[in-house]
Amino acid sequence: MLKRLFSHYIADEVRPMLRLALPLVMAELGWTTMAIVDTIMVGRQANSAVAIAAVGLAGNLYYAVAIFGTGLMLGLDTLVSHSYGAGDLEDAHRSLVNGNYLSLGMAPVLMGFIWLWEPVLRALHIQGAVLSQAIPYLRAINWSTLPLLFFFVFRRYLQGINLAKPVMFAIISANLINVVGNWALIYGHLGFAAMGTVGSGWATCFGRIYMAVVLAIYCVYYDLRYKTGFLNASRLPHLPRVRQLVRLGFPAAMQLALEVAVFAAATALIAKLGAVALASNQIALTVATFTYMVPLGISSAAAVRVGQALGRSDAHAASRAGWTALALGASFMSCTAVAFWLLPRWIVRIYTGDPLVIEAASSLLFVAAFFQLFDGLQAVATGALRGAGDTRTPMVCSAAFYWLLGLPLGAYLCFRLGWGAVGLWTGLCVALILMGSMLLYFWRRRERSFASGTARHAGRSLSHQESQ
């Protein structure tokens, strides 16, 4: 009986979930590998701690703003997957076109806000050696904002119609460009002058331009081969669809911005403790971000699978997709928690040989071990809720647990009780444990609404309610 239940409820969903999730997981891992490569390659310069600290500080501040723009495109997960599930590719194309118009409008705004970080950094009285490398790096990656937004629009469209492998290819191949670019521009190879840390920023910028171009070309190729109607879709802006994207994407963008910003704020506070503390924070944050990419990829697959099921009015399949994704995410993050407990020093030595940084970063990874499982749960539950059209609940949880609890508690432990960077990470750990638990509860409530039929027809109506 139990075997039949498992086969019907979970096993049948695991295969299609993994077919979609694995390329997206590889894409997410490839995405964060670019940041890891930047950290490793600038860390081989003469003053390792200063270079790593500069890249970490500038990168976190950049994403604190840019993530809002990329988060707005998360509404495409809901709209495209619902349209595809309902068999309406014309509506999916409308979402793609208007996502690009939204990107054109958002890019200059985001770049302006990123530029404003410069006077903020100077006002914080951060170590001069760190600041002199962080600001040029920030200026370089700021030019990648528009291609980054285009890339996310094409990515969300493609994965929403079950085409995740081109996304994986674009990001993995972009890593090769980033590696060569770092090697050439940081240290002066292939005829380029040695630019130091800022060269890493330009390499990342060129990699992002490449990714956007690759996905745009693939969309054209796929339409020419399979006649999906993409090239014949209206290229005029459709304001109701733009409003719908913003309505769905704004809470998701705020949730991501709040999450990234809280770690950026923690990084800025840790910067007051010196280069060693800042470098250890960057290494531990890079490692934790790398493991987080797996449930994040599963989260994207969950959003698509749940959305497609609701698009064809299959509430049972939507429920099954969400729980299957949660089980996969929780299983992986439980394994990473064990690795963080047992092998922290071995992991940190990949990044640096500085004994002071190794000691400090190992302590932070020990704290990270306690929130791994809950970080995975909150990521996957957020995706499942997004597939059901709920992007507000994760936003509210992020605001409450990160900013009203986690950061104040961490700052108190760091500065008042003298725990240092470990104190800030402990506060954020508490926030993640609570947030993972609450989002799991809210997914359970939403899943029960599927069974009762209250969300049964949400899929077909969502894509059209504002666009008629």
Least confident of 52-61, 288-297, 326-335, 340-349: 52-61
Q: Where are the alpha helices (DSSP H) in 127-228?
A: 128-142, 145-160, 165-187, 197-226
Assess if residue 168 is contained within a domain.
yes
Confidence bin at 462 (pLDDT 50/70/90)? low
Residue 323 CB partners (closer than 8 Å, separation 6+): 9, 10, 447
Q: Is the pLDDT of residue 2 over 60?
A: no
**Pairwise pLDDT comparison (104 vs 47), residue with the higher score:** 104
Distance in angstroms (rounded) separating the CA atoms of residues 126 and 343 = 32
H-run or E-run covering 463: none
Instruction: Pick 128 or 461 by higher pLDDT.
Output: 128
pLDDT digits (tens, 9 = 90+) for 324-376: 999 999 999 999 999 999 998 999 988 877 888 888 899 999 999 999 999 99
Q: Is residue 67 part of a domain?
A: yes
Q: Report yes or no on 468 lying in a domain.
A: no
Residue 110 lies in a domain: yes
The answer to the question of residue 278 being in a domain is yes
When pLDDT is averaged across residues 307-328 and rounded to a whole number, the result is 90
467 within some domain:
no
What is the rounded average pLDDT of the residues 437-457?
77
For residues 86 and 321, give the distance between their C-alpha atoms in angstroms, rounded to a whole number.
17
pLDDT-based confidence at 452, cuts 50/70/90?
Answer: low
49 pLDDT higher than 80: no
Q: What is the rounded average pLDDT of the residues 444-461?
A: 63
Does the structure show a pLDDT above 90 at 408?
A: yes
Domain count, the chain: 1
For the chain, give the percent of residues with pLDDT over 70.
Answer: 94
**For residue 174, is it within any domain?**
yes
Question: Can you give the pLDDT at residue 8?
Answer: 58
Burial class of residue 5 in the structure, from the number of CB atoms within 10 Å of its CB (0-12 exposed, 13-18 middle, 19+ buried): exposed
pTM for this predicted structure: 0.81
* 257 within domain boundaries: yes
pLDDT at site 278: 84
Query: Is it the case that residue 463 has pLDDT exceeding 60?
Result: no
Determine the structural domain holding residue 116 and report its residue range: 2-462
- Cβ atoms of 436 and 403 within 8 Å: the answer is no
Number of other CB atoms surrounding residue 87 within 10 Å: 9
Segment holding 456, helix H or strand E:
none
- Summarised one tens digit per residue, pLDDT across range 206-254 is 999 999 999 999 999 999 998 888 888 888 888 899 999 999 889 988 9
> What integer pLDDT is reported at residue 121 of this predicted model?
84
Where are the alpha helices (H) located in 272-354, listed in sequence order? 275-311, 315-342, 344-348
Q: Is residue 18's pLDDT more than 70?
A: yes
- Return the percent helix, strand and coil in the chain, to nearest 5: 85, 0, 15
The CA dihedral of 433, 438, 444, 447, to the nearest 10 degrees, is -110
The mean pLDDT of 125-153, rounded to a whole number, is 90
